[in-house]
Structure formats: structure tokens, C-alpha cells
Amino acid sequence: MKHTDMLLPLFTRLYHCHTGVDGYCPIFDDLCQAMDLEGITLVLAPPEVNWQHHRQCRCFDGGTGYRPLSELQPLLHHCQTRLRGRYWFRSLYAPSSHCRGALVVTLKGQYGQLASQLQWLALQLQQWQQHFWQLNRLRSLSRCLERWLNLSDRPQLIIDENGQVLLGNQSAQALLRLGDTIMRDDGGQLLMRGDGGGVIRFGEVLLSLVDSAQQVIKMPCAFQAVHLLRLPDSRYWLVMIKDPGLPARIDIKSLACLFSLSRAETEHLRLLARGCDNRQIAEERHVSLETVKTTQRSIYHKTGCHRHGELLLLLQAMS
């Protein structure tokens, strides 16, 4: 397709943009220039939210925006495509994810000359809206995770299921720029140099972890290991690079926030981190042994752990 080599880098920028609506709009401006369009307007409705709650929708503009946004509400509710004068309207609806979008493109020339490009644009934006809402949900549920990333001395990143780097703290960015052990390829995928000098692609590693919520990879350098942890209710992974020179200090509060643990579950985890067994936890909390076991099963479910050893490994990783 014409201009595909120009459009793919723009969509790569779109997936890597995390600065809010103001950060996305310049990318839509560039899309207009690349496709020779007068304007693009995209409205996204949050998943599983009544379409009439227009205040919760997000609007993105490029070029000359289409201002009668009320006309786009039916597009959010019904799947349709129509052409009216210089405007091409299209619903972006993915039933499996319940994401809904409405796209209107302001044309400079004839629609027929751009038909295949506009269909491609709509398909790409339909896929991107799912990524956009997943990233927003991750942020809203895990504000402490962002604090954890930014305040941590050790390198930490968030990658998607394909190994694409989404977020990273300053230590991680410095390590990526150095490029000795951890690096990114031209497509933004996370790589690691193995013992024999070969390259380990994190996307391939994650494919083998379908039934696992975490994995440890040893590293052939001053850093001890890479700990991969699947974030709850998402397709994203937290990558923690452990430095044995840093003292261990378990941040139970951040861990409880990340996995939405209750007060009882948080206290259980705090005692577990101190080395208490189930009987000691029951005595400290003044509850029955059966209650302790029930609480621990709930923690297993929320953290994705299946056994006591995995939970201890998680505590060690989050130290």
C-alpha cells in the first residue's frame, strides 16, 4: 500500500506515546500529512461504559478537526460506514473487547483514491484503541506502580506480551542506552545478551509463559537476574533487574496496591515476609488457622502464584 513505510513509524509512535491526549494529537497531525488528508477526528468510548456518558469519551484530532462531535455518538453505538461530501465516517467496534470508536476523516480529494488507505487506517486505529484503554486501566489501577518505577534505584520496565517496551524508569533507560546487556531493537522490542553472547528476545520468552505469572532469567553481568512478573488483569509484564548490591527492603504497601490486596491480605503478607508460618500468622492476627489458609488462597489468586515458593519469590522480587 502506498505510504505504508511512512505510516508504520507513526503508529509505532502512537503505541509508545504515554503523555495523554495532548501528546497524541501531533501524531494525528503527522498522519494527516502522510496520507494527504485535511483532518482526522477520533472519539473513543471506554470499554463497558454506557455510550451516552460522553464526558468519559476521549477525543483526538489531527489537521482540521471535525467539531460536530454529537454526530459521532451514533457511530459509537452502531457499526456503520458512510460518506457525506468531504467527510468519511466509520465506526471502530471490536465486539470481543467492547471497545468502541468513531472515526471521521476530512478529505482533500476524491474518496476513491484513498479508499484502501482509509480502510487500513480504520483497522489500525481499531486495534490501537484496545491498547489505549488497557494502558489507561493499568495506570488507573496501579498509580503506586508508576511511583514504584520512578522512585526505584534499580532498572524496571513495563513491556507488553510481544516484548515491546512501554515504560521504564531512569535506571532502565540508562541501561538501554548503554546497550551492553539489556537493549532494544529497531522495532522497540526488549532484548538481552545471554551467556554465550547470543541474544534473548523477551517476546519469545513470554510466549512460553502462558501458564506462569512470573519467571527469573539469570544475567551474565553485575546484575543478578531479570525477574518477569505478569501484571494483574492485563497483558503487560513488569521487568525488574535485580542488583545484589542493593539492600533488600520489601515494599508491602506498593505490592498490596499493585495486586489490590485487602487489609487482611496485606497484613498476612507482611507477616509472611517476616518469616512467619501459618500458625504464627494466626496467632499474630488472632484468627483461626483455616482463616489464614483462606486468606493465603486469595493472595495466590490475586498475585497469580500457585504455591508458597512462588509467593516467596514474588516477595523477593519486589524487595
Return per-residue pLDDT of the chain as tens, 319 residues: 445 667 888 887 887 776 566 788 889 999 999 888 999 999 998 876 554 555 678 889 999 989 888 888 888 878 889 999 899 999 998 765 567 899 999 998 888 888 888 998 998 898 888 778 767 766 665 566 666 666 666 778 888 888 888 777 777 878 888 877 788 887 778 888 776 667 888 888 887 776 666 666 666 555 556 778 777 666 778 887 776 556 666 767 767 777 778 889 889 988 888 888 889 999 988 989 999 899 988 888 887 777 787 777 777 766 6
The CA dihedral of 296, 309, 251, 155, to the nearest 10 degrees, is: -140
Alpha helices by DSSP H, listed for the chain, are 4-16, 21-35, 73-77, 115-141, 143-151, 170-178, 202-207, 252-258, 263-273, 278-285, 289-303, 308-317
pTM of structure: 0.52
From residue 242, how far is each of 118, 156, 245, 317 by CA, in Å?
46, 9, 9, 8
Residues with Cβ within 8 Å of 292's Cβ and at least 6 positions away in sequence, in order, are 268, 278, 281, 282, 285
Q: Who contacts 161 (Cβ-Cβ below 8 Å, separation ≥6)?
A: 203, 206, 235, 236, 237
Enumerate the β-bridge partners of residue 216: 227
